[in-house]
Every structure is written in C-alpha cells, then in structure tokens.
Amino acid sequence: MSGIQTMFNKSKAGNAAIPFRKSRIALFTLLVLYISAYGMWIMFDILNSNSMTLLEYALLALFSITFTWIVTAFCSGCMGFILQLLRIDPLTLKRQKPITIDPQALSNSKTAIVMPIYNEDTERVIAGFEVSLRSLLKTGQFAHFDFYLLSDTQDKDIARNELKAWHALTARLGETAKQVFYRNRTDNKHRKVGNLADFCERWGSQYEHMIVLDADSIMTGQCMLELTTSMINNPNAGLIQTIPIPVRQETFFGRFLQFASVLYSPMLATGSAFWQTNQANYWGHNAIIRVEAFINCCGLPVLEGKAPFGGEILSHDFVEAALLNRSGWDVILLSDVQGSYEEVPSNILDYAIRDRRWVQGNIQHLGLLPSSGIKLMNKLHFLLGATAYISSLIWLSMLVLSTVDAVTRAMNSNVYFNQPYQLFPTWQIAKTELIDSLLFITIGLLLLPKLMGLIVTLIHRNKQFGGSLKLIFGSLIETVFAIIVAPLMMVFHSYFVVCVFLGKKVSWDAQPRSGRMVPWKEAIGYTLIATLVSIAWGGVAYYYTPTFFWWLSPILVGLILAAPIVRYSSSIGLGVRLRKMGIFICPSEIDNDDTLAALRVHEQEIALPSDEVANFTIPALPQEQPAVMPIQSFKRQGLSKRKLARSAKQRIKEKLLAKLDY
C-alpha cells in the first residue's frame, strides 16, 4: 500500500475515532434540557401558587438562566465521572492508552515552542523557559524543535533585563542555543494576537506546528512529544489543547485553587471532551497548533463599533478555535496528557483582577453570536464563557428581588381582601415541600460534581494526594471555603459585568503571580462597600422577615467578613502549615516532577549578569520566510474567504500525506 493511501486510511480512522458524535451531543442536550425544564417547572409552580407578579416573572426568567448554567456543568461532570471511573477515552470511547512516541514521524516534522511575554518578571520567565527546554533536551528529540521567546515588553528596564538574561541563558546552553531565539517587538500592536501573528508571518511557514506557552507555563519534554505526536497522528487536527494544571502555590488561597483544579479539572475536562468531540475550545496556551492552518484561518479583525462588543478581540483564543472549526479543522481537548503546568494568582484580589480582564473578553463574544459561518458548538462556547460571569450578576439580582418579594409579602401577610367588595378572603399558599425540593436539587447539582471528583480520585490516585484521609479532609476544607468565598466573588463579578456594559475598559498588563499577604488597607478598600451594603441588607431582611434572613445568612456572612477572608486567605504561613499537615497536597508535590524540581533550583541559582559583564548585542534571528495572515470576516461576504480557507485545508492535508509517505 502506498504511503498516501496509508495516511488516507489513518485520516479516515481519525475521523471515525470519534464514534456516535451526533448521538452524544444529542444525549447531552436532552439531559440538560430535561433537568432544566424540571427545575423551571418547580420554580414556576412555587411562584404561581399565589398568582404571579411582574417581579416574580423576572425572578423566574433569571432563575431559568442560572439553573440551566448549573445543569450544564453538572451533566458534563457526570459524563466525565463515568468515563474517568471506567478509564475510557472520551473521544474514542475505548480504554485509555498512553501515547506512543514515534521518533521517525517526529523527524519528518518541525515544531516551534513559542512563549509570548509582556513586562513579566524576567528571572521567572527565563527559568521556566529554560527548564522546559532542558526537559525536552533530555528526551533526545530536541533536534526537531526550536524555542522562541517572543517579547512584547515595553518597559525599558524590564527589556534591558530580558536582554541580559537572554545572553546569560545562551551562554549556559552552549551549542543548544543555535535552536533558541529571542525577539523583542518595539510596539505591541494588537497585544498577544499581534505578537503571535508577527511570529507566524515572519517564521511560521518554517514549521508544521507551534506549541504556545504562557509566561507562567511549564511543560515537560514528554508532554511536548505527546502533543506533537498527537498532531502528527491526526492530520485533520488544527489545534490540540491540554489541561494546564496549577502548581507551585504557597498561600492558602493559591493552594486552595491548585488543589481544586487538580482534583476536579480532569473529570470536568473529560466530560467536556465527550460531548464537544472535535469542536473543543482553546484556552490560549499550553496547546499545540498546526501553523499553516492558523495562518490561513486565524487572522483576527478589529470589530466594528464601541465596547463592549467592538474593538480589538480581547479573548482571542475562543475565536481562534471557532475560526479553525469554521474552516473544517478539528479542535481537540486531550484530558489525560500529563506535564502541562501553569501558575495562578495567589490571593482573592489578584484572582479577581485577572477575572476582570476575562469578563470583558468573554462578554465581547456575545457580539459574535450572529456571526456568519461560526458553528453552533462554538457559539455555545461563546455563550457559556460569557454566562460564567454574567450568572453572578443574575444571582445577585435574584437575591435582591427575592428580598424585595419576601419583605413585600411579609408587610402584606395580614391582608386577606385585596379588592373592593371582595366576598371571600385571599389565603396565602406556601408550597414548602416544593421549595425544599428545589433547594435540595440545586445544592445537589452544585455539590455532586465535587463528590464525584473525590470518588474518582480516591479510587484511582489517592496516593498522589497524600492518602485517602488527607484527601477527604482537604476536599471538605475546599468545599467549605468555596462556599464562604462565593458571595464575594459574586459581587466582584457582578461589578465587573456592569462596568463592561457601561463601556469601562481595563488594561491587559502582566499578572502578579508570586505569593503575597494582602495588607489590611487593601483588603478593606476593595470590600468595604460590599460589607456595609450587606449589613444594611441583612438588617432589613431580619426586621421584616426573620425566616428569609436565616436563609440569606450564608451569603451575608461571606460579605460581612470579606476583608478578613481576603486578608487571611492570602497567608503564606497558613498555606505552608497546611502543606506540612498534608492538606491540599497535590500530585506534582508527591511525585516531585523533575521539571518543577529543576525550576525551584534554577530560580534560586539564576542571576542577572552585571551591566559590565553582559553583552547587549541584539540576538540573531533565523532567516525570515514571509507569509501573510489574511484577516477573517464575520460577515456574509466572508463566505468566499471561508471557501478559500477550506480549499487551503485540503492543500495542507495533501502536503501532509505526501510528506508522511512511508
């Protein structure tokens, strides 16, 4: 059989490797719609018991949105639970198998590892960049990869530090430095989108693939090989995303996030991969991309109009996945690939500030929902991404309206004749059983995914969390703290959503990632208004309807104690003490991953050379092979461009078939 025919069969097998695609999407949709409709009916029955007012119709509408959002996450978690429990691959529906590395296939391809940075901590960036590079070097396959540090740094002092650190790095690497490059872009037009576009248009055509890392990313060499092999084995794939696992946290809040992510993310991602199939999402980093497909399909336009829907596309990753899907490329989520890491904010305030940026970017996607050619699954990604934050404003609105409704009913509880000349009294009906049922259903939908994640972990990898007892105790603390901090995050997100719709912009600067104890002044400054409003809110509720007050009390407590929660959850000492007790222990700490261990050592040893010693010459760059990223259109007239993109895809696949002739 010829090589082309063999590859053709592999391509067909790759498409067939997602069996029952339409059936599983239909199953997921029906489950979500059925459970959501059941909850909405219960809520309607409760509100309609005494005839519905306009306020209660508004409550029903808001409840329907948030309840459907919760049900969607629940159903995805259930599917992930079953697949993880049985060790079944969510795409092939076969037993999970490790990815076999084929050195021969790797030798026929060239991959770039690119790390876009902007005004970042130089020592941390260089250390992470170098340990990832050296991890790949140990695999013996380094010859098929080049590393690029793509700087958009505008701060002159940081840019000078980057240059000094770069020359020190190349001196340490010796001959290996021939495959390592540094480029500083003097203007950061279009931010990260422009940074990657600059790379693609100047050097991208020299590579089949690029692995995109963030400034805080760490990736093992084995993970890079598995991603590249997966891309080679699936010529229809335009992008393959891993799950970036948070690591290296010291504060209580940072370790809480890290523990929750590594405990639940694999199960939730497995469920998502099951029903999203080959139309998964992109999270902007720790993924491998087919370069030619990206160049042909992902040139992003500046959107017409004003904020929040106009201007530069901020959360570009969702849109790039949608554009690849629109041109017929698969976007795949591999939920079981190990060795893909990132770092997260260490305290609630820095975490909220990061979310403020994402709120603006995700809400902008709502303006793309009517866009021509975008597939329904990608529109669902847009909608769910925006709802993740808008739901906080909806929940807050529901609580406020519920308070108004409860107070109104309490003030009119002794009024039985609402109309003149009314012959019979109007008796108030309270369907307590239905209210209790809906409350328990909602709590179950929120907490059962946590229990399922815990069960899967206890069965398959409890030793990686320090043992069963420590894992259970840690999950209990994580659940309690998640409940305590939820009201504050609801208020933050609600405020951010309102700001976005009012057209207030936010700067997209470098994120703080190192641990710090939040000062009292800062903690109080960010939470004082929420605390004062919640005290007044609670006072009114208690005066008029004590029963409703006690139902509301968990939310009020979280807001009244917001400043101490922000302050003490940022404690490094508390985080370290819990780690010594074995609480919030994670697999990366138990397994002592070589790459992460090297990063700890390297951060302590690395030092910027003095100005007198450093060589400040601009590093040499490889010869350019110019390419053009055509700007995509979301209008009707963009259909011809999409046809061209699809034909370009066919040409790329033909080139792959010819190149892999064996």
> What's the pLDDT tens digit per position in 452-465?
999 999 999 999 99
Beta bridge partners of 284: none
Among the four given CATH numbers 3.40.109.10, 2.130.10.10, 3.30.200.20, 3.90.550.10, the one describing domain 103-244+283-339+594-659 = 3.90.550.10
- Dist. CA 584–CA 573, nearest whole Å: 14
Give CA torsion, residues 497, 120, 345, 381, to 10 deg. 50
In terms of C-beta density within 10 A (0-12 exposed, 13-18 middle, 19 or more buried), how is residue 385 classed?
buried
- Dist. CA 644–CA 628, nearest whole Å: 14
Residue 660 has a pLDDT of 53
> What's the pLDDT tens digit per position in 89-132?
999 999 988 899 999 999 999 999 999 999 998 999 999 999 99
Q: Are strands 180-184 and 145-151 parallel, antiparallel or unpaired?
A: parallel
**Greater confidence, 598 or 426?**
598
pLDDT band at 56; cut points 50, 70, 90: confident
CA terminus-to-terminus distance, the chain: 9
Mapping DSSP to helix (H, G, I), strand (E, B) and coil, where does residue 306 land? Answer: coil
pLDDT band at 422; cut points 50, 70, 90: very low
- Dist. CA 203–CA 37, nearest whole Å: 52
What is the helix (H) or strand (E) element at residue 112, kind and residue range?
strand 111-117
Residue 639 has pLDDT above 60, yes or no: no
Proportion of the chain above pLDDT 70, given as a percent:
87
Residue 4 has a pLDDT of 31
Residue 12 has pLDDT above 60, yes or no: no
Residue 14 has a pLDDT of 41
pLDDT band at 307; cut points 50, 70, 90: confident
pTM, 2 dp: 0.89
- Dist. CA 381–CA 333, nearest whole Å: 14
What is the helix (H) or strand (E) element at residue 237, kind and residue range?
strand 237-241
pLDDT band at 409; cut points 50, 70, 90: confident
What letter does residue 413 receive in the DSSP assignment? T
Residue 264 has pLDDT above 90, yes or no: yes
Residue 659 has pLDDT above 60, yes or no: no
Cβ atoms of residues 404 and 55 within 8 Å: yes
Residue 273 backbone dihedrals phi, psi, to 5 degrees:
-60, -30
Residue 17 has a pLDDT of 65
> What's the pLDDT tens digit per position in 471-511?
999 999 999 999 999 999 999 999 999 999 888 876 655 56
Nearest to 524 by CA among 488, 578, 548: 488
- The DSSP line for 374-389 is --HHHHHHHHHHHHHH
- The DSSP line for 601-656 is HHHHH--PPPTTT---PPPP-PPP-----PBP--SGGGHHHHHHHHHHHHHHHHHH
Residue 54 has a pLDDT of 84
Nearest to 386 by CA among 214, 501, 503, 273: 501
Cβ atoms of residues 326 and 581 within 8 Å: no
- The DSSP line for 549-594 is HHHHHHHHHHHHTHHHHHHHHT-HHHHHHHHHTTTT--HHHHTT-H
Enumerate the domain spans of the chain. Answer: 1-97+245-282+340-412+431-592, 103-244+283-339+594-659
In 364-488, where do the E strands start and end?
A: none
Cβ atoms of residues 249 and 257 within 8 Å: yes
What letter does residue 518 receive in the DSSP assignment? P
In terms of C-beta density within 10 A (0-12 exposed, 13-18 middle, 19 or more buried), how is residue 83 classed?
buried
**Greater confidence, 515 or 136?**
136
Mapping DSSP to helix (H, G, I), strand (E, B) and coil, where does residue 244 land? Answer: coil
Residue 636 has pLDDT above 70, yes or no: no
Kindly report the average pLDDT of the chain as a whole number: 87
Cβ atoms of residues 96 and 130 within 8 Å: no
What would the mean pLDDT of 353-365 be, rounded to a whole number?
90
Tell me the two tokens of residue 225.
């090989």
Tell me the two tokens of residue 163.
């240059």
- The DSSP line for 183-194 is EE-SS-TTHHHH
What is the helix (H) or strand (E) element at residue 303, kind and residue range?
strand 302-303
Residue 531 has pLDDT above 80, yes or no: yes
Q: Give the angle subtended at the CA of 483 by the CAs of 66 and 550, to the nearest 5°.
A: 85
- Dist. CA 223–CA 99, nearest whole Å: 10
> What's the pLDDT tens digit per position in 229-262?
999 999 999 999 999 999 999 999 999 999 999 9
- Dist. CA 550–CA 535, nearest whole Å: 14
- Dist. CA 233–CA 10, nearest whole Å: 8
Residue 302 has pLDDT above 60, yes or no: yes
**Greater confidence, 228 or 643?**
228
Distances (CA, A) of 424 to 52, 330, 409, 419, 430: 19, 66, 19, 10, 19
Cβ atoms of residues 208 and 110 within 8 Å: yes
Distances (CA, A) of 555 to 97, 310, 591: 45, 35, 38
> What's the pLDDT tens digit per position in 176-216?
999 999 999 988 888 899 999 999 999 999 999 999 999 99
Edge-first strand listing for the sheet containing 340-342: 218-219, 340-342, 245-246
Amino acid at residue number 639: L
- Dist. CA 598–CA 135, nearest whole Å: 9
Amino acid at residue number 151: S
Residue 372 has pLDDT above 90, yes or no: no
- Find the length of the chain: 662
Residue 645 has a pLDDT of 55
Residue 18 has a pLDDT of 82
Cβ atoms of residues 137 and 175 within 8 Å: no
Give CA torsion, residues 634, 638, 641, 646, to 10 deg. 60
